[in-house]
Each structure stands twice: as C-alpha cells, then as structure tokens.
Chains A and B, each alone.
Chain A
Amino acid sequence: MDIIISNSSGKPIYEQITSQIKSMIISGELKEGDALPSMRLLAKELRISVITTKRAYDDLERDGFIESFTGKGSFVAQKNVEFIREEQLKAAEEHLKNAVCAAKSSGISRAELEEMLRILYEE
C-alpha cells in the first residue's frame, strides 16, 4: 500500500491521505475487511502528526469507507457500491456544471459541448 504525500500540493495532508485510500478501495486494491495501518504507525512512517492521520481516518469512517474498532484498529468497510457510485456521480455532475458555465460564458453551443464530451468519453 503506497501513500504519497506532497508538500507542495495545496491540498491538506489529511485530504491527500483520504483521497488515496478511497481510490484504493474503489479500485479494489484494498478489499473489504482488509486492515489499515494504525493511525500512529501511519503518522510515524509518513513523518506527520497523529492528529492528521486521525482526521483522515475520521473522515473515511464518516464517509463509510472504513470501520474502526477500539483496540483492534481500522478496517475497510463493507463496500457500498451504490454509495460510492453516487459520490462519483455527484463529482462528475459538479465538473460538468463547470464545463457548462465555461461554455455559456464564451458562447460555445450545446452541440459543440456534446461533441466534445463524446470524443472525450470515447478516448
């Protein structure tokens, strides 16, 4: 399991951790029931503070990706495929909204936009 932290990215470190663990879960690299490293170990190996890894794990738990048990550690939660799909759908919608905004502000037609989407999707 690789987690790469960038100090120059504007993204907070806890977000970098959550997004990488999320994508490992979605891609199936981490499977249901797999144990995650303890918060303290992760902090030590990444040389960051425990409070940062705790925040990352809390966020993952809140979003239903992992489950934590006192004294046992954290594990990948039962995969809720619908839920993850829903989240991705929301993200895609958000990006499309931005695209529509950009198009409208500079007079790009709907047909042109649809054509662009078709090409991008089939790439």
Chain B
Amino acid sequence: MNSISLKNVSKEYRDFALRDVSFTVPQGSIMGLIGENGAGKTTVLKLVLNMIRADAGRIEVFGLDHIKNEREIKEQIGVVMEESCFYEALRCKEAAAILRNLFKTWDDALFRTYAERFGLPWEKQLKEFSRGMKMKLSIAAALSHRPRLLILDEATSGLDPVVRSEILDVFLDFIQDEEHSILISSHITSDLEKVADYITFLHEGRVVLSENKDKMLYGYGILKCGEKEFARIAPEDVLRCRRSAFGYEVLTADKNAAARKYPDLTLDSAALEDVMLLMIKGETV
C-alpha cells in the first residue's frame, strides 16, 4: 500500500512548470525529495497538501483522493514547512492551546514529552527561540496529534549537525511503526543518504530519477579517465559525463558491470550528491 501516490501531475506557472511528476511513497518508508533550489520540491509538497491545485494528474494520500477527502487526510498528516508558522509572541503552552482545538487526536502529554526531549522552554516567547528550537517546536507540533504521515520541507537545512542528528533520530523513531511514512525534501543529501529508503530527484520541474536508495548508492558509479580511455567507453554505459582540462568523469548506472568491462579505469562509488551534480551539470553522449 502507498501512503502517497502522484500520477502525471503537472502545474504551470508563468516562469516555472512542473511536468508529468509521478512517484509513490510506500507505507512504512522514508522518501527523500532532492533537487537544487527551484527544482520544484516545495511545489510538489504544496500540491500534495492541496495548498495549490494541479492543472493535471492525480494525487492520492492513503489511497484517498487528496481533495475530496482532504479533511480526513489532514487529520492524519503532520506537516513541517521551512519557516516556523507560529506567531512570534506565543509561548509553547499557548501554541499547544491553539493546536489542541485544531486536531481531534491532539495529545497534550505527548507534546509536553517532545518539548522536554527537545529542551524547549515552556514559558519563553517564540521570538527568543533559535532556528533549531523553532524547527524542533514545529516537529513536536507536527507529531503530537499522532499522524501516520509526516511531510517535511527542508526540515534540516540551516541546522547544526547535533540538532540534525537529533531530528533524524526522531524520524527513525517515528518510522518504527510500519504504518508510518515520511516524505522529506532536502538539499542536504548526506542526511537523506543515511535514513531514506527511496529517493526522488527533481530537476527543472521533472522527475529525473525515483529509485530505491541502495540501488542508487551501490548501482551508480563514477568512472574517471583521460581522453583516450573515454573514447573506449561504450555510449550506452555513459549516463552523463563531465569534462575537465585533465580528464573525464563519467556517471554510469551499473558500477559492477563497469568494473568488469573497464578493469583498468578508476571507478569510484557515487554519493547522492555526485549523482545529483552529474545529472544536472553533466552532458549526455
């Protein structure tokens, strides 16, 4: 069963278009949405949340139509956007009072537990909070009505490694329940490299890749070679290549096959960041 499924979703703006976006988030998994700034990550999340309307395509959440069953779906989703959405003059306890009336399933005790775990001061105004504290508050608020699905937009960007690691722990805790899933957009690929099960890679409003993360990490490889050797590489083995003054970097989809075929060339494994860079900056042959 899928928590989220998008089929051929398109959305046109004057200067940007999301075209034919399809991917699914299987139940019990973490899907990482990667792509450069402006690739359309936030647009996709807003479409799923029905904050904007798609021009074409179909979006389902928990197998239900995301517009017709919006209320039912939203009771079961926790959302964290990049910026804190709370009024700056509020304190934690006041934020809790507002949220209590918003969700049927709001759990005050759980919110307190998260606030304590994250070290959030109960009586301090939010404008005094650091960026990390605000993000933790947003996450605590998103989790305290016991959602089945978390949708996060750049939740770990701009945070220090210690806070990022704490937040990743929360995600891993959340996913202990096999019915829970997470859709998270980020351009910090190293975070996703650790915890995501699947990766969807957006570029200029299109899905470039949507795959099992391990397949990507252990399948893709980068061949490094000079001009002469590059001529020997079969075009079907070259996904993208990048040329510098002193040689070529070639992204290949099957590292093991490349190792057998070109045993004398230098072959590195590709991190998500390398795949992202070469897919965007590289050329096809």
Residues of chain A whose beta carbon lies under 8 Å from any beta carbon of chain B: 10, 12, 14, 40-41, 43-44, 47-52, 55
Residues of B within 8 A of A52 (CB): 214
Q: Contact check: which of B168, B175, B217 meets A40 at CB < 8 Å? A: B175
Known: A47-B168, A50-B197, A52-B214. 19 other contacts (CB 8 A): A10-B269, A12-B217, A40-B175, A40-B176, A40-B178, A41-B176, A43-B172, A44-B172, A44-B173, A47-B195, A48-B195, A49-B195, A49-B197, A49-B213, A49-B214, A50-B28, A50-B30, A51-B197, A51-B214
B220 interface residue (CB < 8 Å to A)? no
- Asked whether any CB of chain A lies closer than 8 Å to the CB of B218, the reply is yes
Given A47-B195, A49-B195, A49-B196: A55 in contact with B214 (beta carbons within 8 A): yes
Q: Mark B169-192, 1 if CB is under 8 A from A, else 0.
A: 100110110100000000000000
Query: Nearest Cβ in chain A — how far from B172, in angstroms?
Result: 4
CA distance in complex: A12, B212 (Å): 14
Contact between B176 and A44, CB atoms less than 8 A apart: yes
How far apart sit A50 and B197, CA to CA, in the bound complex (Å)?
Answer: 6
By a CB distance below 8 angstroms, the chain B residues around A48 are 194-195
**What residues make up the interface of B, taking CB atoms closer than 8 Å to A?**
28-30, 168-169, 172-173, 175-176, 178, 194-198, 212-214, 217-218, 269
Q: For chain A, what secondary structure do more than half of its interface residues adopt (helix, strand, loop), or is it mixed?
A: helix
Distance between B241 CB and nearest chain A CB, rounded to angstroms: 23
| Chain B hits for A10, CB < 8 A | 269
Chain A residue, CB-CB nearest to B172: A44
Nearest first, the 4 A-B pairs at minimum CB distance are A51-B197, A44-B172, A49-B197, A12-B218
Q: Is the pair B198, A51 in contact by a Cβ cutoff of 8 Å?
A: yes
The complex places the Cα of A49 from the Cα of B213 at a distance, in Å, of 9
Q: Let me know if A12 and B176 touch, CB within 8 A.
A: no
A47 touches B172 (CB 8 A): yes
With a cutoff of 8 Å between Cβ atoms, the chain A residues found around residue B175 in the complex are: 40, 43-44, 50
A12 to chain B, nearest CB (A): 5
Tell me how far the C-beta of A101 lies from the nearest C-beta in chain B, rounded to whole angstroms: 15
Given contact pairs A40-B176, A41-B176, A43-B172, A51 touches B269 in the complex (Cβ within 8 A): no
State whether A51 touches B212 (Cβ < 8 A). Answer: yes
* Interchain CB contact (< 8 A) of A14 among B194, B196, B214: B214
Q: State in angstroms the CA–CA spacing of A52 and B194 once bound together.
A: 10
**Measured CA separation A119–B237 after assembly (Å):** 46
Residues in B neighbouring A51, C-beta threshold 8 A: 29, 197-198, 212-214
- Select from chain B the residue with minimum beta-carbon distance to A50: B197
A76 to B176, CA, bound (A): 22
Shortest Cβ distance from A5 into chain B, in angstroms?
A: 11
Considering only CB atoms, which chain B residue lies closest to A12 in the complex?
B218
**Residue on B nearest A15 in the bound complex, by CB:** B218
User: How far is A111 from B218 in the complex, measured between Cα atoms in Å?
Assistant: 42
**In whole angstroms, how far apart are the Cα atoms of A48 and B213 in the complex?**
11
- The answer for the CA separation of A51 and B193 in the assembled complex, in Å, is 12
Jot down 15 A-B pairs with beta carbons below 8 A, ordered by A.
Answer: A12-B218, A14-B214, A40-B175, A40-B176, A40-B178, A44-B176, A47-B194, A48-B194, A50-B30, A50-B197, A51-B29, A51-B197, A51-B198, A51-B213, A52-B214
Chain B proximity of A28: nearest CB distance (Å): 30
Cα-based distance from A48 to B176 in the complex (angstroms): 13
A81 to chain B, nearest CB (A): 32
Contacts of A44 in B (CB 8 A): 169, 172-173, 175-176
Report chain A residues within 8 Å CB of B198. 51
A97–B198 CA distance with the chains assembled, in angstroms: 39
